[in-house]
Amino acid sequence: MDQSALYLSLEEPRRSDHLWRYTPWRRVHPTGEVKEIPKLGSPEVKIMSIDGEEITEGISLGRDFRPTENLPEMDTVTDSFLRSITEDSRLVLNVEKGFASDKPIVLDINTGESMCALHLSLNIGSLAEFELVTRIRGNSSWFGLLRTGFIDDGCNINDVFLSVLESGTMLRVDSIGIGRDSNIRVGTISSGTENTKSDLRYKMSQKGGSLWVLGSILSTGSMHIDHHIEIQHEAPETFSRLSWNSACGGSSRTIGTGMLRVADGAKGSDAGQLFHNLLLSEKAEADSIPELEVLEHEVIGCGHGTANGPIDENQLFYLESRGLSTKEARDSLISAFLNSTLSEMGSGKLHEWLIDLLSDELEALKG
Amino acid sequence: MESNEEARQAVGEYKAGWHDSENSTIRFDFGLSEEVVREISKLKDEPEWMTNLRVKAYHHFVDRPMPTWGNTPMLDSIDFDRICYYLRSSKATEKDWEDVPDEIRNTFDRLGIPEAEQKWLSGVTAQYESEAVYHSIREDLQEQGVIFLDMDSGLREYPEIVKKWFCSVVPLTDNKFSALNTAVWSGGSFIYVPKGVHVEMPVQAYFRINAKNMGQFERTLIIADEGSSIHYVEGCTAPTYSTDSLHSAVVELVALPGSHIRYSTIQNWSANVYNLVTKRGIAHKNSKIEWVDGNIGSKLTMKYPAVILKGEGAHAEVISVAYSGEGQHQDAGAKIHHLASNTTSKILSKSISKNGGRGSYRGIVNVSPKAENCKLNVVCDALILDGESRSDTYPTMEVSNPTAHCEHEASVSKVSDEQIFYLMSRGHSEEEALAMVVNGFFEPFTRELPMEYAVELNQLMALEMEGSIG
């Protein structure tokens, strides 16, 4: 069955499904008419180094699109919908075996003014070592991104996703497999979009894989930001950590749902997830559902935790006693809270670049 | 295996697995219809409002689809047309054990209920199939105005109180199984504790299903008036049959300002019983509701004791343990709704899965926008003892007030080799060491139980753990 026919054959997802509990599909769909598959445009995509230089070797964008196997099991609705609307908007990020770069690489996606979508396939050769920032900008009212692909064995990659869209709705889906002994960090920095729904799934199907999933979420005004992160441990001796920090101001709402699945046979798995929500205003709301499904008993440990709360009065008092005004102390604590995951996403160079880029958004949050 | 021998002597192989020959005085045919519902109400000579409520609930049950979450294959395998919705084995609720029919009395003797009553209980209700067969309360409590009756007598003797509170905590449209209970309820306990009265010793209800393909739908309503306190304990068992039975109870607790209700359950249904229960309490100002919930038996349990913290300063605690053995799925958890300011809650959930069993924690905690300075803490720990078993955690936390302090943590692990090694180096066998670790794991739960229950739970667990090694 082709993807459009598959999508049209599906029922609208129910709210009893955790994935759709807080953000119904109708709200995410580009037109709200769920039985419609609209014709959307393609964004402008460029690849460059962090200081704007052109990259000529080892990493490139191509159109030689091939389906990837052994990907995580996906939500059929979003997967078939995104595949339907991106039939004419597909790119492949090809990274040669053994490619290494000291300078972080920026994959710049400019949505422009109109609704658009992209299917980006990752074809990453073994032993690659680099840092990638996927930056989404523009003022399109709707943007959809489907990333699929496999990161081959022995890679060492920091993969940061940064959304600075001015407004509108973004639907983001990741379906990525991780190879043997690869060490991957996936960071998400979310700000700007009015309405975000993301479904990020990673599968460790080879022994020795290691994955960190990190989030720094800034929500202000009336934003609605909903992230679902699913980590599937299918092979023995795999390691994962999810650390997700959301700071919520205005009347915004952030939702973080996590699922750690440890399959039967994934002996020696070590998995953990943590959600932290900082509530900064009376009307802000934060929801967390960190779920675990463990089918293997020979695990090193599987755990999760969430904590929600306001700024700690004791920390505030301490900073004020050191001479900071209440506002300065509060701002410092908000920055430190978001920075605790942001600083883990990549190298010092990448971190500085991100902080510069995000200074305006942080100011808006601090109010 | 000395300790296991002791356990076996004390509790036997699923000690409650025998069954008596069925000597029912009234038995309805299998299946449910409006006529059956009206017939149950007529038999009990109920007021019209209750009959109408039952009929309304029946229609809601029929119209409402089965849940689409949880263990849907197991839920879908329930055949509602192969269940008997009402069975009476005794002509009346007796106040003296000697007046209870011999066979039924023998059952409760074997379960140790009369002995427990003499030693450490303030009152007892024993329910056999659909009706309470025995009921008693200590005279001094009765003199202080404490009402402790089976629910049917409660409705007959105190219709106004029952009408006021019945369905006030769990509305008939709450879920499919609470609607079923409201339609066909029979038995259960009705308790009213007057202002300022403290019931020092626990009261107990014991629920026994004896017949095959039986549905037990008891309804319990406990009202603790201002400044009062009560501890209610319930136990449940059933014989082991190859066909399934259904237990679908509804429990409503009302804790008025300054009162304290503790509700303890040791559920040890046989592995052919679906246990789909709705338990909820409303806690008014400065009151406290505690659910202490042990789930050892049943085929599928879906039970999420809930507390609505309605009044300022109210507190809720849910402490639960679940053991899932072969073919069992214990889907248990807790729900706490913080509606008022300065309310606090604590959930501690522990589960063990073994021999292909599945243990799930499913819970929700929410803080409403107007509830200032709430504090809540959720801890779930799970142990998986072998490669065929699984453990899931599905917690939900919804926080709409920035002053709330919410914490949740969970872990899934196996018994550590170091612990086993240490205990074995002190002279214990591997099996004893494992049983000790498991009892230690459950200790935060057992210390909340009356001592007799805690001892029995430890013995039951030791027996369940037998054969875990090798």
Q: Reduce the secondary structure of A153-178 to three states and give it as a string.
A: CCCEEEEEEEECCCCCEEEEEEEEEE
* pLDDT > 90 fraction of chain B, expressed in percent and rounded: 44
What confidence score (pLDDT) does residue B314 get?
97
Please provide the average confidence, as pLDDT, over all residues in chain A.
91
Task: Suggest the residue from A220, A295, A299, A311 to mutate for an interface test with chain B (most B CBs closer than 10 A).
Answer: A295
Tokens of B340: 């008022």
B108 domain-assigned:
yes
pLDDT digits (tens, 9 = 90+) for B246-298: 999 999 999 999 999 999 988 888 888 899 999 999 999 999 999 998 888 88
Q: Is the dihedral of CA B73, B74, B77, B80 positive or negative?
A: negative
What confidence score (pLDDT) does residue B468 get?
54
What confidence score (pLDDT) does residue A65 get?
81
With b for 16 or more beta-carbon neighbours within 10 A and e for fewer, the A162-173 pattern comes to bbbbeebbbbbb
Query: What residues does B125 pair with on adjacent strands?
Result: B135, B205
B78 domain-assigned:
yes
Element (H, E) at B11: helix B2-11
Q: Whose CA is closest to A16, among B305, B69, B33?
A: B69
Find residues 348-387 of chain B whose CB sits inside 8 Å of chain A.
369, 382, 384-387
Please tell me which residue, B56 or B89, carries the higher pLDDT value: B56
pLDDT digits (tens, 9 = 90+) for A41-90: 999 999 999 888 888 789 999 988 888 888 898 999 999 999 999 999 99
Residue of B nearest to A17 (CA): B69
CA angle centred on A258, ends A255 and A259, rounded to 5°: 150
Please tell me which residue, B153 or B12, carries the higher pLDDT value: B153
Cα A11 to chain center, whole Å? 26
Q: Is the dihedral of CA B22, B28, B29, B33 positive or negative?
A: negative
CA dist., res. B18 & res. A142, Å (int): 65
Are the beta carbons of A291 and B395 separated by less than 8 Å? yes
Tokens of A74: 């996906």
Tokens of A268: 């020696």
Contact list in A for residue B408 (CB cut-off 8 A) is 288, 290, 304-307
Residue entry with tokens 């052919």: B272
DSSP A298-361: --SEEEEEEEEES--HHHHHHHHHTT--HHHHHHHHHHHHHHHHHTTSS-HHHHHHHHHHHHHH
What confidence score (pLDDT) does residue A18 get?
77
B385 domain-assigned:
no
Tokens of A198: 């993301």
Contact B398, A312 (CB under 8 A): no
Determine contact: B65 vs chain A, CB below 8 A. Answer: no
Please tell me which residue, B215 or B10, carries the higher pLDDT value: B215
Determine contact: B411 vs chain A, CB below 8 A. Answer: yes
Tell how strand B147-150 and strand B123-128 pair up: unpaired
Coil vs helix vs strand at A126: coil
Q: How much is the CA Rg of chain A, to the nearest whole Å? A: 20
Residue entry with tokens 């025995």: B134
Interface residues of A toward B, Cβ cutoff 8 Å, are 14, 16-18, 264, 277, 279-299, 301-310
Q: Whose CA is closest to A67, among A5, A7, A138, A3?
A: A3
Confidence of residue B110 (pLDDT cuts 50, 70, 90): low
B190 domain-assigned:
yes
Q: Residue A258: is its pLDDT beyond 60?
A: yes
B28 domain-assigned:
yes
Mean pLDDT on B209-228: 87
Domain that holds residue B277: 13-303
Please tell me which residue, A193 or B128, carries the higher pLDDT value: A193
B369 domain-assigned:
no
* pLDDT > 70 fraction of chain B, expressed in percent and rounded: 80
CA dist., res. A107 & res. A360, Å (int): 21
pLDDT digits (tens, 9 = 90+) for B132-145: 766 677 777 888 89
Type of residue found at B239: P
CA dist., res. B244 & res. B212, Å (int): 7
Residue entry with tokens 């930001």: A225
Confidence of residue B19 (pLDDT cuts 50, 70, 90): low
Q: Residue A276: is its pLDDT beyond 90?
A: yes
Mean pLDDT on A24-39: 93
Q: How many domains does chain B have?
A: 1
B260 domain-assigned:
yes
Cα A159 to chain center, whole Å? 9
Coil vs helix vs strand at B115: helix
CA distance A219 to chain B (A): 14
Tokens of B330: 């214990």
What confidence score (pLDDT) does residue A362 get?
67
Mean pLDDT on A341-359: 88
Residue of A nearest to B374 (CA): A309
Q: Residue A266: is its pLDDT beyond 70?
A: yes
What confidence score (pLDDT) does residue A275 get?
93
What confidence score (pLDDT) does residue B167 get?
95
Contact A37, A107 (CB under 8 A): no
Q: Residue B2: is its pLDDT beyond 50?
A: no
What confidence score (pLDDT) does residue B139 get?
75
Mean pLDDT on A82-101: 94
pLDDT digits (tens, 9 = 90+) for B334-362: 999 999 999 999 999 999 898 889 999 99
**ipTM of the complex as predicted:** 0.70
In this prediction the pTM is 0.81
Coil vs helix vs strand at B450: coil
Q: Whose CA is closest to B343, among B404, B402, B396, B397?
A: B404
Task: Suggest the residue from B352, B394, B418 to mutate for an interface test with chain A (most A CBs closer than 10 A).
Answer: B394
> Any idea what DSSP says for residue B28?
P
Determine contact: B405 vs chain A, CB below 8 A. Answer: yes
Residue entry with tokens 């014991």: B206
Are the beta carbons of B402 and A277 separated by less than 8 Å? no
Confidence of residue B4 (pLDDT cuts 50, 70, 90): very low
DSSP B193-243: E-TT-B--S-EEEEEE--STTBEE--EEEEEE-TT-EEEEEEEEE----SS
How many contacts, defined by CB atoms under 8 Å, are there between A and B? 117
Could you tell me which residues come within 8 angstroms of residue A263 by beta carbon, excluding any fewer than 6 positions away? Answer: A232, A233, A234, A295, A296
What confidence score (pLDDT) does residue B272 get?
83
DSSP A227-242: EEEEEEE-STT-EEEE
B83 domain-assigned:
yes
Q: Whose CA is closest to B291, among B257, B262, B268?
A: B262
Determine contact: B69 vs chain A, CB below 8 A. Answer: yes
Which of A282, A297, A302 minimises the CB distance to B385?
Answer: A297
Please provide the average confidence, as pLDDT, over all residues in chain B.
84
